[in-house]
Structure 1
Amino acid sequence: MSDRNQHDADHLETLDRDLHRLSYLEGATQYAARPMVGPGIALAFMVIAGFAAAIFFGHEPSSYVVVLAAVFGAYMALNIGANDVANNMGPAVGANALTLGGAIAIAAIFESAGALLAGGDVVSTISKDIIAPSAMASTDVFIWAMMSALISAALWVNLATWIGAPVSTTHSVVGGVLGAGIAAAGFAAVSWPTMSAIAASWVISPVLGGVIAAAFLALIKSRVIYQDDKIEAAKKWVPILVGIMVAAFAAYLALKGLKRVMTIDLPTAVAIGAALGVVAWLVTVPLIRKQAVGLENRNKSLKVLFGIPLVISAALLSFAHGANDVANAVGPLAAIVHAAEFGSFSSEVAIPMWVMVIGAFGISFGLFLFGPKLIRMVGGQITKLNPMRAYCVSLSAAITVIVASWLGLPVSSTHIAVGAVFGVGFFREWDTSRRMRTLSQTLPEERRIATEERRRRKLVRRSHFMTIVAAWVITVPAAALLSGIIFIILSAIVS
């Protein structure tokens, strides 16, 4: 009997060891598989997009081309969500006004709403007349050129996300169209004045965004932060800044986001924005006064008053981004669908709703699966943000687009937002250096901070600055080169 008990005990011990091994194996398997969850879901979404295209276009002779384009269109949308949307939500997350999960949820909802409710229903197939459609030899050449542009833009944005550089997805599409157009029709087919204007926006967008953001931060510092009674100053200025924010976004959306309903010119859009801005100011005054009750006279209290306006501005930025940038991203896909359906191509085509749905949901999935990396980078790794600084970034993004529209300048929302973050950081460096220099002059010689030490205290990480600027500069040529190579390969396969 005792031998049997001993045998049972040995058996239980062996079983226990095996279970431990299994649990370790299961844990190791889960750990190894975790990095594959995101790509797996992304791949499933691309397959679903292909099935959707097959359902809508299964009766067409060239349906396989549309299915392939839908798969790559979904891939492009995923990459936009991973890269582009970080610019809208990064500042709010970096300022601790939103958690990462909250930012992703808000961005996913408002990006999709902007794309589906206010997204442009017509898009230039060759992305702002870069390539003359008449230069294309045939419909098939046009289709494969657009396919090459789509694939190259998606691959470039994917690479930029991997290295941690926020780039313009619109510029990526522009580069893709340029490279494929040159490969298909030669250099003469390119509208070089259009390309010159786009190249100018590389400089105009970030500089304008940075200057406006720095100007607002200077205003907040002088009128609120450096005042003796910070709370009383905030009660006056926060409603004014909220009014400016609402006016800017209302004008922006009236000008750019209501094309499905009506066309509004710039003066009318500005008038609509101004009226809604005044209403927002009147509504905000009592709300801020109520919120300010009992707050201490310190900078930490100011963060509370700027928190909710910052979250609202981030949501509005996402809606505006969805309304305007999604159409550019799915433009090549819409062009392919139109050419495959009608056997012809034109300078402008309508975007089918199912194409917009792929764009909207792809952005949401891309943001959810791969967006946190760039959100953290934009929000906290370029320079330290708080709600006041982040609010300046959001304000700058909206106002810069309005100013650029008024001046007729092509700008990139990505470059504006990231340029605004840099502008805030560099202004803080200058302001801190100025104050330290002034303070040093009042101190005894032995307590003064050395000039070399003041120069060493940088508030903007130069490594990120150089990486991002380099990525911006090479986006169009890199996407163009990649697109030209892909077009040559695809032409060789289908011919």
Structure 2
Amino acid sequence: MNSLIIAAVVLLNLVFSFSNGYNNSANLIAIPIGTRALLPIKALILASFFEFIGAYFLGQAVAKTVAVGIVNPAVFSNNYAIIILFSTLLTSIFWNTICTVIGFPISSSHALIGGFVGSSIAYAGFNVVNWNNVIKIFSMLIFAPIISFSLSYFITKIAYFLSRSASLKINNLYRNLQILSSWACAIAHGSNDGKRNVGIFVFSLMVLGVVSIKNGGFFIPQWVILLSALSISSGVMFGGLGVIKTVGMNIYKIKHINGFSAQTTSALVVYLASLLGIPLSTTHVVATSVMGTGAAERIKAVRWLVSKDIFLAWILTIPFSIFVSFILYKLIFLIVKNL
């Protein structure tokens, strides 16, 4: 295999991981910045560090699901299969970038998996996709926000009940708990989004013949994990400020107790999904957790019009990424075939 093609695929995977961290930075630091628990630069540095920890050490099951559970890498045996990788990653990078510029915290999981499905169908038809796993993943992407909203709502209610007779000093406690929960959220995010990116990276290398499944076991080269962890944590470091403002300030005016509730919920839901090997939309989880904690305090306090715009971006992501990746594969295929 041409070393130039391998280098291009590696670079594209790393750019996608960076763009993923750049957009999803809001999931990790918008809340502590919005409540002024942490200064922006400190929040970014800490989130980037804990993102790396989660992406490097945790979440192997998620990587396996993405690499071999959505489509069978063995099906992609000729050079045209490489176009799948470019179509998937270019679609995901484009959608991530557009929504980050606009300020919408979209799901890179939706964009990546939708793009993966669309380009795979363009290459080999509908039968190449493991629809049972795809339906399971998309079902979780639907139910996770509902779970997150409900859990955050109840955690907030419980926190207010336990604090009903406390002095104003309780705010300092919740501020410290919020900082700790933001670190947990970053670790959980790294274990899911970081390892999901590793999964598509490994799939790419399998198609190129650089990596193979040995003795029925799933193998991830350490250099792949390291580069992916570094790229997504670097993206977090340079996070999209427009998205941070949307999540941390525009959905609901967050206080320390709300930040603690939302981030604790997010960390629990996302890490549970990582243990189960399910690539989850951490964006959906965090945003609906913010909505849940806001609704627990006062339904009308949540800015539902902003929430409506976010939901619209979420709904559009899946069909957009499937369609664009399908068309992009066909276009690149025609160009390459006629060279």
Do they fold alike, i.e. is TM over 0.5? yes
Q: 2:58: which partner in 1? A: 118
Pick aligned residue for 2:139 from 163, 185, 200: 200
- Give the aligned residue type for 1:471: A
The 3-state SS of whatever aligns with 2:63 is strand
Which range moved further: 409-418 or 303-312? Answer: 409-418
Q: CA deviation at 1:78?
A: 1.7
Aligned pairs (5 A) from 1:49-448: 61-118=1-58, 120=60, 123-124=63-64, 126-127=66-67, 129-136=69-76, 138-224=77-163, 226-227=164-165, 230=166, 297-298=167-168, 301-342=169-210, 350-401=219-270, 411-430=280-299
Identity across the alignment (%): 27
TM-score relative to the length of structure 2: 0.89
Please say if residues 37 and 178 of structure 2, whose CA atoms lie closer than 8 Å, have aligned partners that are also in contact.
Answer: yes
The 3-state SS of whatever aligns with 1:124 is helix
Please say if residues 31 and 254 of structure 2, whose CA atoms lie closer than 8 Å, have aligned partners that are also in contact.
Answer: yes
1:465 aligned to 2:307?
yes
The 3-state SS of whatever aligns with 2:60 is coil
- The 2-side partners of 1:69 and 1:410 are apart by 22
Please say if residues 120 and 129 of structure 2, whose CA atoms lie closer than 8 Å, have aligned partners that are also in contact.
Answer: yes
Q: For the structure 1 residues 302 and 363, does the alpha-carbon distance in structure 2 shift closer, same or farther, using more than 3 Å as the test? A: same
Q: CA deviation at 1:116?
A: 2.5
- Ranked by relative contact order (alpha carbons within 8 Å, sequence separation 6 or more), the top structure is 2
Please say if residues 152 and 482 of structure 1, whose CA atoms lie closer than 8 Å, have aligned partners that are also in contact.
Answer: yes
Deviation >3 Å, runs of 4+: 124-128, 132-136, 341-351, 401-411
Q: For the structure 1 residues 169 and 350, does the alpha-carbon distance in structure 2 shift closer, same or farther, using more than 3 Å as the test? A: farther
Please say if residues 109 and 280 of structure 2, whose CA atoms lie closer than 8 Å, have aligned partners that are also in contact.
Answer: no
Aligned residues: 336
TM-score relative to the length of structure 1: 0.62
Q: For the structure 1 residues 117 and 129, does the alpha-carbon distance in structure 2 shift closer, same or farther, using more than 3 Å as the test? A: closer
Q: 1:474: which partner in 2? A: 316
Q: CA deviation at 1:381?
A: 1.3
- The 2-side partners of 1:403 and 1:126 are apart by 17
Please say if residues 126 and 177 of structure 1, whose CA atoms lie closer than 8 Å, have aligned partners that are also in contact.
Answer: no
Please say if residues 111 and 321 of structure 1, whose CA atoms lie closer than 8 Å, have aligned partners that are also in contact.
Answer: yes
Q: For the structure 1 residues 410 and 143, does the alpha-carbon distance in structure 2 shift closer, same or farther, using more than 3 Å as the test? A: closer
- Give the aligned residue type for 2:263: S
Please say if residues 335 and 345 of structure 1, whose CA atoms lie closer than 8 Å, have aligned partners that are also in contact.
Answer: no
Please say if residues 129 and 191 of structure 1, whose CA atoms lie closer than 8 Å, have aligned partners that are also in contact.
Answer: yes
Deviations 1:64-98 (A, max 9, x none): 11111122112212211111232122211111111
Q: CA deviation at 1:410?
A: 6.6
* Higher Cα radius of gyration: 1
Q: For the structure 1 residues 177 and 494, does the alpha-carbon distance in structure 2 shift closer, same or farther, using more than 3 Å as the test? A: same
Gaps of 5+ in 2: none
Q: CA deviation at 1:306?
A: 1.3
Q: For the structure 1 residues 462 and 318, does the alpha-carbon distance in structure 2 shift closer, same or farther, using more than 3 Å as the test? A: same
- The 1-side partners of 2:111 and 2:2 are apart by 27
